Structure 1
C-alpha cells in the first residue's frame, strides 16, 4: 500500500516547492470548518468584508497569503516570516526576543492582524487584508512544521529517501509531505475530506471569549508534535507505516485549526 501511495504522490506532483503550510486543500478545509462554527453576527461581518472578492468565502481567501509571491511580491517578501516560528531547538517554549524579533513570526502576526480585523474604525481594505491573513495564519500555525526547527527550515531541508518505496525513484522533503502529500494520498476531494473532518470531535485550546488569540499555545502545541518520537523518519527513509501513523495527527490538527479559527473570528467580529 505504501508503495502505491508514494508512487501516486510522485507521479501527480503532490510535493510542491516551495512548500506552504497545508497547501491549497488544507487551508480551504480549515476555512470551511471554521465557517460551520461562526455566529450569525460573525458570518454577516465576514460576508460584508468579502463582498466583491472573486470567491467571497473564507475558503476562497484561505490561500491568499501564499499567493502574494505571484500577485504582490513586495508584500509577500515583507510578510514571508509571518508564516512560521522556529522554536523546537528551545524545547518549544516561546521566547519573543529570540523567536520573533520585530514581531516577524506567525504568533505575533495572528495577534496583530486579529486586532486590526476587530477594529471597526480601520478602513475596510485594511480589515479585509487582516481577515485574509488571519484565516491563513491560523491554518499555518497548526501545521507542526511551521513551529518546528530552524536548522532544517521547518523540514524543508529534510530530504526523504523514496528510492526504496517506488520503482520510479526520486525523493521529497518532510515539509511537503505534511503540507499536502499525506492529505492528497487519500484521494478525497474537498467535499469528501470536509465530511470526514466534520465527523471528528471539535476541541479547542483557546477560551473563545476575547482577543488576543491564543497563538502562543497553538504554536507550542504544534511544536511539541514535531518533537515526538518518529515524526522525523529514521535515516530519512519513509517507512511503510508513516502515513498510517501520522495522517490522523495531521487531520486532527486541521480539525483543531478550524475550531480555533472560528473562536478567533467570533471574538473579533461577533460583537457590535
Structure 2
C-alpha cells in the first residue's frame, strides 16, 4: 500500500472543486469514509488504538482516516489495478428483493460486502500475517464497514445501487447514488474533521437492535441499509433532490455514519485487543 500522505494533500487542495464536481460513485465518497474512520478512532480502547497506530506507522500514517479511501483508489493506480478488480464486488451486496432478507445466495462465491468484511477482519486479527497484509486488511475493514452502511450499497432495486436513477440536484443532472455518496454531505460545507466533530458532539449513538434470527452482524447492517433504501420518499417521485429531500434524508445519512463509526470501533476493539 502506498503512503496516503500525498493523497491527503491532494484531497485538501481539491476539496473546493469537489463540491461543484459530481462525486465518484463510491460509498460515502472521501468525506464520508473519513468521517466514519475518525469517529471510530475516537472510540478505540488503548490496546486497539496502539495496534492501529503501529500498523499505520509502517507507512508513516497516523490516523484511520488516512487509509479510509484507499480501496476506492486501487483501480486508478496501475500498481494496484488488479487488486481493485479482485475486490470490486466486495463493496456492496445486491438484494434484488424488496423483503431485504440476506441469505448466502445474495453473496455468490463470497463476493459481496458482507463476506468482504468477514474476510478482512479475519486477516487483521491473525497475528501470523505480515504487517503489510494486516495493514491492507485494516484499510479494507475500515472502508467496507463504511460501505455497508450506505443504503445504496445494499439496495433492493435493479438499478446498480441508484446509479441508473437519474435526478436533478442543485440545478445539475446527477444520480441518486452520487447524491447519497457525497452530494448531501457536501451541503454541510464542512471538511471531514469538522463534520466528525459535529456528529461526535451528538453523543453516543444508539445502535439498532439485533434482527432475529440473524446471527451475522454484517448481514444485519446490510439489511438495515436495504430497508432504508425502500422507505417512502427515498427514491424521489419527481427525480428531484430539493431542500426538503435533503432536510429529511441527510439526518438519515448522518445517523448511518455515526452507526458505522461505532460499529467499526467495536470490531477493531474486539479484533485487536
Q: 171, 178, 181: which is aligned to 1:179?
A: 181
The 2-side partners of 1:52 and 1:125 are apart by 8
Structure 1 residue 26: deviation in Å? 0.5
User: Which residue of the partner structure matches residue 117 of structure 1?
Assistant: 124
CA contact (8 A) 2:98 2:157 kept: no
User: Which residue of the partner structure matches residue 229 of structure 1?
Assistant: 232
Q: 85, 89, 92: which is aligned to 1:77?
A: 85
For structure 2, the residue ranges without an aligned partner over 5 or more in a row are: 1-15
For structure 1, the residue ranges without an aligned partner over 5 or more in a row are: 1-8
Structure 1 residue 122: deviation in Å? 1.5
Structure 1 residue 49: deviation in Å? 1.1
The 1-side partners of 2:19 and 2:85 are apart by 29
TM-score, normalised via structure 2 length = 0.86
Structure 1 residue 87: deviation in Å? 0.8
Within the alignment, does 1:87 sit opposite 2:102 as a pair?
no
Q: 246, 251, 265: which is aligned to 1:248?
A: 251
The 1-side partners of 2:28 and 2:164 are apart by 17
Counterparts in 2 of 1:123 and 1:177: CA distance versus 1, 3 Å: same
Q: 217, 220, 226: which is aligned to 1:217?
A: 220
CA contact (8 A) 2:92 2:113 kept: yes
Structure 1 residue 24: deviation in Å? 0.5
Structure 1 residue 190: deviation in Å? 2.0
Within the alignment, does 1:260 sit opposite 2:267 as a pair?
no
The 2-side partners of 1:171 and 1:95 are apart by 35
TM-score, normalised via structure 1 length = 0.87
Within the alignment, does 1:60 sit opposite 2:66 as a pair?
yes
